[in-house]
Amino acid sequence: MNQIEEWMNGRIGLNFRSGLDRMKQAVSLLGRPDKAYPILHVTGTNGKGSTIAFMRQLLMAHGKKVGTFTSPHMISIHDRICIGDKPISDEDFTRIGQEVQQMEQTLLQTQDQLSYFEIICLMALLYFKEQAVDVVLLEVGIGGLLDTTNVVTGEIAVITSVGLDHQETLGGTIAEIAQQKAGIFKEGKKAVVGPLPAEAAAICQEKAEQLAVDLHAFRKDFGLKQDRFWNENVELVLPSLGLKGDYQRENAAVALEAFLLYMEGQPQAVDLDLIQLALQETRWPGRLELVGDQLYLDGAHNPHAMVRLIEFAKSLDGKRVKILFGALKRKDYSGMLETLQAGLPEAELMLTTFHYGEVVAQGDRQDLPYVADYKAYIQEFMARRHPDEVLFVTGSLYFIAEVRACLLEG
């Protein structure tokens, strides 16, 4: 771990502070690097990472130099800041981090210390300017309206989905959460929203009208008809996608609509063959990621996402389903477990723990079998390789990252 990571890790507890004044001043002191490129600003309860993965592949296939800022990371913090599919180098990470560190000395004259997420976001904005990217895909951390990233003006705002998650920060109802998500809409710009609950869709529509936003809504302005994507200008067959799960077709549709809107302002023509190839080649770690042929890693970290996992598991006819679950205590882990139990009553559901902050432990759900050593359990499962069994490792994305790192090391 280099000194910049150590500095950042000392700021983890500063996350979840209200207000954007500190971040606004920070980007100003850095010379507003976010003004150097167009931004597609992406939020949603679930599907943000997958949608960004589809968009990145679509843009890269059309020759664009794409910067992506996503979180959390699966292997290294460097993975959060990428040019194309290449993470920022350790040398550049340190150098850009030192630039933010030096700026903070001035910032501290009027503001509090920067948080971990604020630092990494500022580093990304600086790096993308330095690398002269064509376009940036910027993922919201939590919510939208008050999120650290919302100091930028996105040419296109994207809302992938709205469900109950982070209620302690965003509010306890779909309507309240939708207000937060729609907070990334910018006056006179464009927005794409995925399949939302009716009340969330109405709030997005109202917000778009207030800000004269050109809103493109799933089912109304674009959508899916069996195996075909459609909007007012094009209809094309979706290929077999590089990401598993039927719900990824919805994420692909949202990504495709946002991509096509962006390309309307480009001199380059859209190539339908390249679109097909890009969607087939899209990959995103930890989202129904198949390891071998019987183990899936899926960071389905809220009840809404668990419903999607259940749908996929049910499509695996004739397979005995096992589920190894690890989560953070601050999340709605009971809701996730209850969703799994109701949706897959025949599955073997087991609780485990991992090394990240305050996690769900054996005593928190004594009604479930407990696996003390998930590494040994996974190794034994993969060694036995009963052809009629499939194992889902799920829960926190931090858990998935830890498991994935162990599997890669092995």
User: Domains of the chain by range and CATH?
Assistant: 3-281 (3.40.1190.10), 289-409 (3.90.190.20)
pLDDT, one tens digit per residue, over 96-153 is 999 999 999 999 999 999 999 999 999 999 999 999 999 999 999 988 899 999 999 9
pLDDT at 15 over 70: no
pLDDT, one tens digit per residue, over 197-210 is 999 999 999 999 99
Residue 56's identity, in one-letter code, is: R
Instruction: Decide if 177 contacts 164 (C-beta within 8 A).
Output: yes
pLDDT at 388 over 70: yes
Determine the Cα–Cα distance for residues 212 and 126; give it in Å rounded to an integer. Answer: 30
Determine the Cα–Cα distance for residues 86 and 88; give it in Å rounded to an integer. Answer: 7
* Closest to 299 in 3D by CA, of 376, 380, 144, 403: 403
pLDDT at 16 over 70: no
pLDDT at 165 over 60: no
Per mean pLDDT, which of 169-173, 263-267, 285-289 is the most reliable? 263-267
Which pLDDT value is given to residue 410? 59
pLDDT at 84 over 80: yes
| Chain centroid, CA 254 distance in Å | 14
Instruction: Decide if 193 contacts 159 (C-beta within 8 A).
Output: yes
Rounded mean pLDDT, 326-333:
85
Instruction: Decide if 287 contacts 357 (C-beta within 8 A).
Output: no
Rounded mean pLDDT, 251-266:
96
Determine the Cα–Cα distance for residues 47 and 38; give it in Å rounded to an integer. Answer: 22
Which pLDDT value is given to residue 153? 97
**How confident is residue 286, by pLDDT bands cut at 50, 70 and 90?**
confident
Q: Which H or E run includes 205?
A: helix 198-210
Which pLDDT value is given to residue 172? 67
One DSSP character per residue, 240-285 reads --SS-STTHHHHHHHHHHHHHHHHTTSSSPP-HHHHHHHHHH---T
Residues with Cβ within 8 Å of 258's Cβ and at least 6 positions away in sequence, in order, are 40, 51, 55, 156, 158, 192
Determine the Cα–Cα distance for residues 148 and 32; give it in Å rounded to an integer. Answer: 14
Residues with Cβ within 8 Å of 279's Cβ and at least 6 positions away in sequence, in order, are 54, 57, 58, 238, 239, 241, 242, 252, 256
Determine the Cα–Cα distance for residues 96 and 80; give it in Å rounded to an integer. Answer: 14
Beta bridge mates, 67? 83, 136
Phi and psi dihedrals of 68, rounded to 5?
Answer: -125, 135
pLDDT at 285 over 60: yes
Which pLDDT value is given to residue 359? 86
Q: Which H or E run includes 99?
A: helix 90-107
SS3 234: coil
Pick left, alpha or beta for residue 289 (phi over 0 → left; psi -120 to 50 → alpha; otherwise beta): beta
pLDDT, one tens digit per residue, over 26-61 is 999 999 999 999 999 999 988 999 999 999 999 999
* Closest to 53 in 3D by CA, of 41, 37, 73, 70: 70
Between these two residues, 303 and 388, which has the higher pLDDT value?
A: 388
Structure tokens at 125: 């904005």
Mean of pLDDT over the chain: 91
Rounded mean pLDDT, 9-23:
80
Identify the weakest region by mean pLDDT among 20-24, 136-140, 313-317: 313-317
pLDDT at 170 over 60: no
pLDDT at 385 over 80: no
Instruction: Decide if 42 contacts 52 (C-beta within 8 A).
Output: yes
